[in-house]
Chain A
């Protein structure tokens, strides 16, 4: 990665980029798992949390997964929108991939003021993707940084960063950044932006 100078503020910040562009690497630098060779990363205030793309399906109850790390925060308000209250006693490893992801996303949202998510929509069916987008759109007091290659998800963001091969292609409001030219350049496929019934769609 090179010349990455960014600021993430309250609301939903999305890092959009193709596979291998460095999205996960950037997230891992923010939590301190990887050290940048030059420059620094500063978290102004608050606790950090992370919802990973890959994790170990541990044999413990969902409640124990939520309580792991012992943050003492209240999970109840984040369980309900995800419909997870009924899952508390179930064995985490027996849940479906999508259900496990939602548990970890709910945990990250409850525990962090700065919430990092690695490809949060991957593994989620359409209904849960919509649920997630609605929930995230409603959280304005946390700094959420989510990496994705899902353009629809990026549309709901307050700010979008386009990351290609370790470099920033563009950064700013979704409307200004998600253009045909920039997206075509990003994905190296012809991307068309179309308006249908007042909604913006992206087609290849």
Chain B
């Protein structure tokens, strides 16, 4: 029953928020959540709650980005990571640190970094689409892999070069594999705003996205230019992905896992994919982040965990030939 599944997703959502508040590098007992005191209060207010909110909004955003990309690009294996978008964003973010060499104040970087990340996230996505669009479903995936190789390598090289001079620049592992630790509330506001815009626009345009997915000709007949439409959404997805990457590095595969589960349990129309990918994306990233943030004794990059979770789904999609649903 669909309503049972929605209730289940909601339950998982609330449970994961609760679990993320308790578990982490420092265990906070549930009683301390209700009456925070001493060091627990500091951890909760400055680190734990902002991190939980960040992971929840990032998970929701990535889920929705994946869903929209999969519909518009007619490809069940797409998400901002596979498409090379995130890798381009990481490159842009690292490149912005070079501005430090021109004696720009570090505080400036907070505003500039997401913008440059967005520019390169957009560029890398366009390159992937240009490479892959004519060669069927796997064309985009291969294009994305190639683009990700290029930009990830560039990130590695740049980071290694800069870190000698500026040791506070985040490491290669941070950029390429992600780490969600947020201190303070300012970043959360930006994340929340972008996520809200993404979800609201996605809901408003859901029927149109469905139409563009089914047929370009039908879209033209209804007054929608499907190519322009795709580019506008790619720009929005790149903006959101670029911002996320500049904050927490590359978080991969959430955009593949989540829409797939929603499609199998609640149906594949964008009207369902957008809201429920947001609802399910949060807990999946929150739970992955619990594993990532020290509960296993040490900090593990979050993409390592999400990619292990995504692997069986990707294999399933490929083996079942679901991906071969082209014209």
Residues of A at the B interface (CB closer than 8 Å) are: 27-28, 31-33, 47-52, 54-61, 64-65, 67-71, 91, 93, 104, 108, 111-112, 116, 118
Give Cα A93 to B215, complex, Å: 14
Task: Tell me if B's interface is mostly helix, strand, loop or mixed.
Answer: helix
Q: List 6 contacting pairs A-B, 8 Å CB cutoff, sorted by A.
A: A51-B218, A59-B268, A65-B214, A69-B208, A69-B210, A108-B218
Given contacts A32-B220, A48-B222, A50-B220, contact A57 B325 (CB under 8 A): yes
Give Cα A160 to B64, complex, Å: 48
B210-A54 in contact (CB<8A): no
Give Cα A116 to B214, complex, Å: 16
Selected from A33, A59, A91, the residue in CB contact (under 8 A) with B217 is A33
Which of A60, A111, A112 has the largest number of chain B CB atoms within 10 A?
A: A60
Encode B194-218 as 1/0 by CB contact (under 8 A) with A.
0000000000000110110111111
Name which residue of chain B comes closest to A28, CB basis. Answer: B217
Selected from A51, A54, A59, A69, the residue in CB contact (under 8 A) with B211 is A69
Given contacts A33-B216, A56-B215, A69-B208, contact A49 B269 (CB under 8 A): no
User: In the complex, what residues of A have CB within 8 A of residue B74's CB?
Assistant: 56
Residues of B at the A interface (CB closer than 8 Å) are: 71, 74, 207-208, 210-211, 213-222, 224, 263, 267-269, 271, 325-327
Given contacts A48-B222, A49-B222, contact A93 B267 (CB under 8 A): no
B222-A56 in contact (CB<8A): no
User: In the complex, what residues of A have CB within 8 A of residue B327's CB?
Assistant: 54-56
A64-B220 in contact (CB<8A): no
Give Cα A37 to B221, complex, Å: 20
Name which residue of chain B comes closest to A69, CB basis. Answer: B211
Give Cα A75 to B71, complex, Å: 24
Give Cα A44 to B314, complex, Å: 49
User: In the complex, what residues of A have CB within 8 A of residue B221's CB?
Assistant: 31, 48-50, 112, 116
B220-A55 in contact (CB<8A): no
B210-A64 in contact (CB<8A): yes
Given contacts A50-B221, A52-B217, A55-B215, contact A61 B267 (CB under 8 A): yes
Give Cα A61 to B269, complex, Å: 7
A52-B269 in contact (CB<8A): no
Q: A32-B220, A49-B218, A64-B267 are in contact. List 11 more A-B contacts (CB 8 A).
A: A28-B217, A50-B220, A52-B217, A56-B74, A56-B213, A60-B268, A68-B211, A69-B211, A91-B268, A104-B215, A112-B221
Name which residue of chain A comes closest to B218, CB basis. Answer: A50
User: In the complex, what residues of B have CB within 8 A of residue A118's CB?
Assistant: 217
Name which residue of chain B comes closest to A118, CB basis. Answer: B217
A52-B215 in contact (CB<8A): yes
Give Cα A111 to B325, complex, Å: 26
Given contacts A50-B221, A69-B211, contact A64 B269 (CB under 8 A): yes
A67-B207 in contact (CB<8A): yes
Which of A27, A49, A58, A69 has the largest number of chain B CB atoms within 10 A?
A: A69
User: In the complex, what residues of A have CB within 8 A of residue B210's CB?
Assistant: 58, 60, 64-65, 67-69
User: In the complex, what residues of A have CB within 8 A of residue B325's CB?
Assistant: 56-57, 59, 93
A52-B218 in contact (CB<8A): yes
Q: How far is the CB of A167 from chain B (nearest CB, A)?
A: 23
Give Cα A71 to B221, complex, Å: 12
Give Cα A52 to B217, complex, Å: 7
Give Cα A70 to B208, complex, Å: 7
Selected from B214, B216, B267, B326, the residue in CB contact (under 8 A) with A68 is B214
Give Cα A51 to B217, complex, Å: 8
Give Cα A47 to B219, complex, Å: 12
Give Cα A56 to B218, complex, Å: 11
Give Cα A57 to B323, complex, Å: 11
User: In the complex, what residues of B have CB within 8 A of residue A28's CB?
Assistant: 217, 220
A70-B215 in contact (CB<8A): no
Given contacts A64-B210, A69-B211, contact A55 B271 (CB under 8 A): no
Give Cα A75 to B231, complex, Å: 31
Give Cα A28 to B216, complex, Å: 10
A58-B213 in contact (CB<8A): yes
Give Cα A44 to B222, complex, Å: 16
Which of B215, B221, B269 has the largest number of chain A CB atoms within 10 A?
A: B221
User: In the complex, what residues of A have CB within 8 A of residue B207's CB?
Assistant: 67-70
Q: How far is the CB of B43 from chain A (nearest CB, A)?
A: 44
Give Cα A32 to B220, complex, Å: 6
User: In the complex, what residues of A have CB within 8 A of residue B211's CB?
Assistant: 68-69
Give Cα A71 to B218, complex, Å: 12
Give Cα A186 to B162, complex, Å: 71
User: In the complex, what residues of B have CB within 8 A of residue A65's CB?
Assistant: 210, 214
Give Cα A67 to B220, complex, Å: 16
B271-A64 in contact (CB<8A): yes
Q: How far is the CB of A189 from chain B (nearest CB, A)?
A: 29
User: In the complex, what residues of B have CB within 8 A of residue A49's CB?
Assistant: 218, 221-222
Give Cα A116 to B252, complex, Å: 42
